[in-house]
Structure 1
């Protein structure tokens, strides 16, 4: 497995089957142009198998943290550690970019997502909020 940052619209459209809906050209271009938006794609061979997206958020009294926006793995590649590897890759990127933390939300009953986040070192509060301390 290789994980690469999406560098072009072609990368995103080649992984279109991983998203909830087909990527929109204008939204894709805008996302990729933003320095604080990140899309990492996992490949098995040359086939896109999963992705994670993250957005850096900054607040005056807190600094910058990474919001894990969405994580998805193709059904054909589930239970191979791809989701965990993608979360770890985003966590590494967040630390490299100076983020003090990373966070996301999940449904309280989503055991698969929670297991993935725990494997990647996440702490789950109230069954829905997941956080990583990067300091």
Structure 2
């Protein structure tokens, strides 16, 4: 397995089977052009089998932190350490970029995600509630 940053729209689109919905080329272009956006893709035999995306967030009194936005591993490749490797690679990249921490929101009953993040060194920071404003059904 090899993990490397996605740098082209083609790489993002080739990982379409790992996303929740079909990717749009114009959104992939914007993702790559946006400062602080990062996607690392895991490859096995040249095929994308997982990804982790992160977004740097900067605040005037805190500096920069990284949000682990999403992690996905192809079902056929789960339980082989790919999720942990992707998470560790994102954490290492955040450290290299000078971020003061990395955080991720996880549903409390998502045992697979919790185990993955804990195996990569994350610690529970307490109870978290997320509220959202939704504007457009289906994006």
The TM tier, using the shorter chain, reads over 0.9
Runs of 4+ in 1 over 4 A off after TM superposition: none
Indicate the residue corresponding to 2:50 in structure 1: 50
Superposition RMSD in Å? 1.2
Gaps spanning 5+ residues in structure 2: where? 130-139
> Which digits, 9 at most, give the CA deviation of each residue in 1:9-44, with x for residues without a partner?
110111110000111111110000122000000001
Indicate the residue corresponding to 2:92 in structure 1: 92
Distance in 2 separating the partners of 1:121 and 1:127: 18
Q: Give how far 1:126 is off.
A: 3.0
Indicate the residue corresponding to 2:83 in structure 1: 83
Distance in 2 separating the partners of 1:112 and 1:127: 18
Please say if residues 109 and 127 of structure 1, whose CA atoms lie closer than 8 Å, have aligned partners that are also in contact: no
Indicate the residue corresponding to 1:71 in structure 2: 71
| Larger radius of gyration between Structure 1 and Structure 2 | 2
Please say if residues 6 and 40 of structure 1, whose CA atoms lie closer than 8 Å, have aligned partners that are also in contact: yes
Q: Are 2:72 and 1:62 equivalent residues in the alignment? A: no
